[in-house]
Amino acid sequence: MAGRATDAIWVEKYRPTTLAEMVGQESIVPMLRSYAAKRTMPHLLFAGPPGTGKTTAALALSRDLFGPEWRQNFLELNASDQRGIDTVRTTIKQYARTSPLGNVGFKILFLDEADNLTSEAQASLRRLMERYSGSCRFILSCNYSSRIIEPIQSRCAVFRFRAYPPEAVRTQLERVARSEGKHVTDEALATIVTASAGDLRRATNLLQLTATHADPVTAETVKEYATVPLQREVEAMLGAALQGNFFAARDRLYALFTDRGAAGEEILRAIHSYLPSIPDSVLPPKAKVRLVEYLGEVDFRLAQGATDRVQLEAVLAHVAAGTDRAS
């Protein structure tokens, strides 16, 4: 790590530069390394939650394939910014049709957040993938592969990235802390791991944010700067709802919004992850199943633009009313 800027964003500073440096995703990295070794690859589709290494894998694969001059054969676009058919017909087509440099035989176009492309743009992209496959390989990255049209999926090798296991997140955080000369307590590491929910990017950002303001980093300082709901707070909120005290639960929900700055989706995920640990005597298994089904409905509403505060209040009311706890 010597020679890297000391004031850099840690996510970029400690991003693996080769596939050999990547942690986690043991079922994916060996396949990508074999592509690099053979200097050939199909079109790829990376699907999975944010912060699970999709962009890092694409960059590392390109470096392993092309070496020091990898940027001459690599183009990264974000479909959230350029999601229309004009982008496909101009920027992507112009890049895909030009000849690659070096001895690999093809270039790589990395399209991040490809699930934001319109259906019309995806149809046009599929034709370009067919026409220019000899000179350009496409790597598409998305959170939801179901939003990618089937003709594109069938032309790609699909890799599904999973949230990092807690031990992998903790190992990476310890490595970063050692390199930065920061003292982080075991309780602080555990708190960051819980708050990040398998998102390594979020965990690294939270560590940097906390370490910038506190040394040593403790669990208390992490909670002060964490912008996601922590397990203890969600347990307290749901505990009040399970006891039938809706207004106390709602007050704790408001505290998550105002004091923590948490988003509705983050709170919903925290509730979902906490459900299995609720004793069956408090919430019977059948009631848990019904609550998970209801959480799925709320998640869909949030994705469609519903007000997160109203939807989360509805969840707490659903629990507090006792309808979920009936066996």
For residues 152 and 194, state if they share a domain: no
For residues 12 and 115, give the distance between their C-alpha atoms in angstroms, rounded to a whole number. Answer: 24
DSSP state of 89: I
Residues of the chain with confidence (pLDDT) below 50:
1-6, 323-327
Assign residue 196 the CATH number of its domain. 1.10.8.60
**What digits encode the pLDDT tens for the residues 185-218?**
999 999 899 888 889 998 999 999 999 988 899 9
pLDDT at 281: 83
Assign residue 251 the CATH number of its domain. 1.20.272.10
List the one residue out of 110, 112, 105, 154 whose CA is nearest residue 133. Answer: 105
For residues 326 and 286, give the distance between their C-alpha atoms in angstroms, rounded to a whole number. Answer: 8
Residue 2 falls inside a structural domain: no
What are the Cα distances from residue 189, in Å, to 168, 183, 271?
12, 10, 21
Residue 156 falls inside a structural domain: yes
Residue 145 falls inside a structural domain: yes
Q: Which domain holds residue 211?
A: 166-225
For residues 164 and 314, give the distance between their C-alpha atoms in angstroms, rounded to a whole number. Answer: 31
Q: How many domains does the chain have?
A: 3
**What digits encode the pLDDT tens for the residues 229-257?**
667 788 889 889 988 899 999 999 998 88
CB neighbour class for 302 (10 Å; exposed up to 12, middle 13-18, buried from 19): middle
For residues 166 and 46, give the distance between their C-alpha atoms in angstroms, rounded to a whole number. Answer: 21
pLDDT at 82: 57
For residues 197 and 254, state if they share a domain: no
> Which tokens sit at 13?
């500073």
pLDDT at 31: 96
